[in-house]
Amino acid sequence: MDLGTRPLGHTGLDVSELCFGTWRFGRETGGQTETTKAEAFAILEAFADAGGTFIDTANVYGTPSGRSERWIGEWLADRDRDRFVIASKVYFPMDESHPNGGGLSRRHIRRQIDGTLQRLDTDYLDLYYIHRWDPTTPITETMGTLDGLVTDGRVMYLGASTMAAWQLMKAIGTAREHGFEPFRVTQPLFHAGYYHDVEAYLQVCASEGLAVCPYSPLAGGFLTGKYTRADPADPTAASGPDGSRADIDDRFAEYYLSERGWAVLDAVRAVADELGATPAQVAVRWLMQYPDAPVIPIIGARDPDQLADTLGAAAIELTQQQYDQIMQARYDAEGRVLRSG
């Protein structure tokens, strides 16, 4: 499977049509390491061999924080760095005990970009997201500091991760008012079962020409189809393979299991059967065909085989009827949006 490329919004960069997210690299959950170093290198190699060029990480990914960035840097050491577009993030503390170790202050951003570049073993970062909105730091200070990183060449482009639509607009307006480098890319939670919740945010992205790189495009693995409903009366009751996220992550049911989720999964499965594809491929393809903004989903994988399955999303195409079938699954018979939790 050879991935094609897509423009990354108005950055002038072309990236692979799928981005690989490394939040599992070195992460310990429930006493288990989700992806070991050897597994991480094998997955990155398979992604690159398939034409993947866009890799996403964050300063706090891994246990301890920074392990994901460090592993990516080691993997890149034997490769042409300029062929890859690397994204990282800033906001969360690397050290919970540090009184000024988090947020989006001038001090924290400048300290964290230096650490990120060191761990990645590179002198520039292609894309730097703010990981969350910081209510304690004036957005003028944050945007001005980020603008300085672009000016001095340590960062090429800026992005915004999880936040409300009004916060995104406030940041855009601040950059416009002061002549700062604006956000060019966004990273919201967005998947086939989670649209109306983020609709206003997506409308801002469309109106401003921002690229959208959704995280958790498979709803934490729920939309892969590996889970079945365990109790018709309780949408949060699911059964799945041993060691799956539902077993090791207490937040799984809260985030992903709902009447809306099961209805959307049923539609995804039906379309997958029509296409001879997997539910994971259909769910990712649905995002790729979002009509109002350029969407480059951030996918994950435990191993190269799982990666290969998800990359198959680039080889299928949904008809308009199939796309609408998945979109409409979130409504009840009276046209009301089903509950998401």
> Does the active-site annotation cover 157?
no
Q: Is residue 256 part of a domain?
A: no
CATH number at residue 41: 3.20.20.100
Q: Quick check: is 200 in a domain?
A: no
Please answer whether residues 214 and 287 qualify as being in contact, where contact means their C-beta atoms are separated by less than 8 angstroms: yes
pLDDT (mean) for 87-99: 91
- Domain assignment of residue 181, yes or no: yes
- What pLDDT, on the 0 to 100 scale, is given for residue 251? 67
Burial annotation 111-146 (CB, 10 A radius, 16+ → b, else e): bbbebbbebbebeebbbbbbbbbbeebebeebbbbb
Structure confidence at residue 99 (pLDDT)? 82
User: What does pTM read for this prediction?
Assistant: 0.94
Give the count of alpha carbons within 13 A of 133, CB side only.
Answer: 15
Cα distance between residue 293 and residue 273, in whole Å: 28
Angle at 222 between CA 68 and CA 228, to 5 degrees: 140
Instruction: Say if CB 211 and CB 11 are below 8 A apart.
Output: yes
**Mean pLDDT, rounded, of the chain:** 93
Q: Where are the beta strands (DSSP E) in 139-255?
A: 155-160, 183-186, 211-212, 228-229, 238-239
DSSP state at residue 79:
S
Domain of 153 in residue numbering reads as 5-187
pLDDT of residue 337: 74
Counted domains in the chain: 1
Cα–Cα distance for residue pair 51/334, rounded to 1 Å: 45
Q: What is the mean pLDDT of residues 158-182?
A: 97
Residue of 61, 194, 255, 256 marked active site:
61
* Res 148: pLDDT: 98
Quick one: which of 234, 238, 203 has its CA closest to 223? 238
- The three-point CA angle 106-109-110 to 5° equals 80
Average pLDDT over residues 43-52: 98
Residues 288-293 have a mean pLDDT of 96
Buried b (16+ CB within 10 A) or exposed e, 281-298: bbbbbbbbebeebbbbbb
Residue 247 pLDDT more than 60? no
pLDDT (tens digit per residue) in 96-153: 888 888 999 999 999 999 999 999 999 999 999 999 999 999 999 999 999 999 999 9
Look at residue 336 in the predicted model and tell me its pLDDT. 76
Q: Give the angle 204-10-186 at the CA atoms, nearest 5°.
A: 45
pLDDT, position 230: 75
Does 340 score more than 80 pLDDT? no
Predicted pLDDT of residue 231: 80
pLDDT (tens digit per residue) in 256-273: 888 888 999 999 999 999
215 domain residue, yes or no: no
pLDDT at 91 over 90: yes
pLDDT at 14 over 80: yes
Q: Whose CA is closest to 311, among 42, 39, 46, 13?
A: 46
Task: Judge whether residue 318 has pLDDT over 60.
Answer: yes
Residue 201 has phi, psi (to 5 degrees) of -65, -45
Please give the Cα distance from 66 to 326 (Å, whole number): 38
Using one digit for the tens of pLDDT, what is the confidence trace for 67-80?
999 999 999 999 99
pLDDT cut 70: percent of the chain above it:
94
Residue 215: CA count within 13 A, CB half-sphere: 20
Q: Is residue 232 part of a domain?
A: no
What type of residue sits at position 169? M
Higher-scoring residue by pLDDT: 13, 100: 13
Structure tokens at 61: 């990914």
**Is the pLDDT score of 38 beyond 70?**
yes
Q: What's phi and psi for 25, nearest 5 deg?
A: -65, 115
Residue 287 binned pLDDT confidence (cut-offs 50, 70, 90): very high
Lowest model confidence (mean pLDDT) among 51-60, 245-254, 286-295, 316-325: 245-254
Are 88 and 129 in contact, with CB atoms under 8 Å apart? yes
To 10 degrees, the CA torsion angle through 319, 322, 326, 331? 120
CA triplet 213, 300, 181: central angle to 5 degrees? Answer: 25
- Percent of the chain exceeding pLDDT 90 equals 79
Q: Is residue 48 in a domain?
A: yes
Residues facing residue 212 across a β-bridge: 186, 295
